[in-house]
Amino acid sequence: MTAEEALKPAVVVAGASRGIGRAIAKVAAQEGSPVVLVGRAPEQLAGAARDVQAVGGQTFALELDLVSPKAALRLQDFLTDNGLYCDTLVNSAGYGLRGPATGLPLDGQLGIIDLNVRALTDLTLTFLPAMVKRRRGGVLNIGSIAGFTPGPNMALYYASKSFVRSFSEALHEELRHTGVTVTCVAPGPVETEFLSRSGAGRAMLFKVLPRLDADRVAERAWRAYRSGRRLAVPGVSAKIVALVARMLPSAVIVPLIGRLQRRSADPCLCGSGLKYADCCGKHWRTPGSSDRAAS
């Protein structure tokens, strides 16, 4: 037996310390493979490990900032050192920021690209070639219904999730008949820290849409992955939103999303120092029409 053949298959969950990733780790562990939990917060990682062990899973935890240089190679080394290889990669690490792109900190917005796009791509393309060689395994990428339309007032996040969907769907097709699958799961709002951390939870759009429970999303995501699905949108309301976003012309859907994600208490971008609602927001007409009505 070669050293490579002695390695055991593992499920690697990037972004496992809390939220959807942590819930997916619990579901995956029930199948019996070791689960490698990746995240930055040591206490939350330890909590996730206890959760997974409680359902009978074997865990390995790696504290790793996925946007740090050579993060994917460090993960690869960690697996080998522990006698494992990546059989399933779950990319759940991600964040967003609500607010106008010109008003949010640039670093935070570039960080969205670094994590949601660059790190996800790095991990995926680091582990996929060996999966193809073995003719087994796959990748489960957590996208969002945000990936179906541009999203004013959360522009970078929506664009990053559009990338995740496009990249995943393309890979799924490229890998047809290889025994390896790539699945993108695109949930609507899920009850996790993401909503408060990003500020999205305070926007009207996320108040009107029903929120799913992370455990429920995880079960559906894992089922979609195991069935080799290309794309899955968990929940009826999210399915409707995804369908509507794909059918409506951009001239209608983009202003509508922008309006539902802007808060009247937001500071006005014109620099007046007033609230948006008391300044340029007074000129807002209906979604789909020009932003500034002739008054």
Ligand X SMILES: NC(=O)c1ccc[n+]([C@@H]2O[C@H](COP(=O)([O-])OP(=O)(O)OC[C@H]3O[C@@H](n4cnc5c(N)ncnc54)[C@H](OP(=O)(O)O)[C@@H]3O)[C@@H](O)[C@H]2O)c1
CA distances from 218 to 55, 134, 159 (A): 15, 26, 23
Q: Of 157, 158, 225, 276, which one is the catalytic site residue?
A: 157
**Could you confirm whether 85 is annotated as catalytic?**
no
Per CB under 6 A, the list member of 59, 76, 88, 144 interacting with ligand X is: 144
| Euclidean distance between CA atoms 35 and 225, whole angstroms | 16
Interface with ligand X, residue 147, by CB under 6 A: no
Which listed range, 10-18, 222-230, 252-260, 268-276, lies at the site for ligand X (CB under 6 A)?
Answer: 10-18
- Residue 95 has a CB neighbour count (10 Å cut-off) of 16
190 binds ligand X (CB under 6 A): yes
For 78-102, the DSSP string reads HHHHTTEEEEEEEE-------S-TT
Nearer to ligand X, 182 or 268 (CB): 182
Smallest separation, CB 122 to ligand X (Å): 12
* Cβ closest to ligand X, residue 10 vs residue 23: 23
Spatial distance between the Cα atoms of 40 and 114, rounded to a whole number of angstroms = 15
Q: Cα 273 to chain center, whole Å?
A: 34
Measured from each CB, the residue nearest to ligand X is 19
**Identity of the residue numbered 150:** P
39 interacts with ligand X by CB under 6 A: yes
Give the residues lining the site for ligand X (CB under 6 A). Answer: 15-21, 39-41, 44, 65-67, 92-95, 115, 142, 144, 187, 189-190, 192-195, 197
Catalytic residues: 157
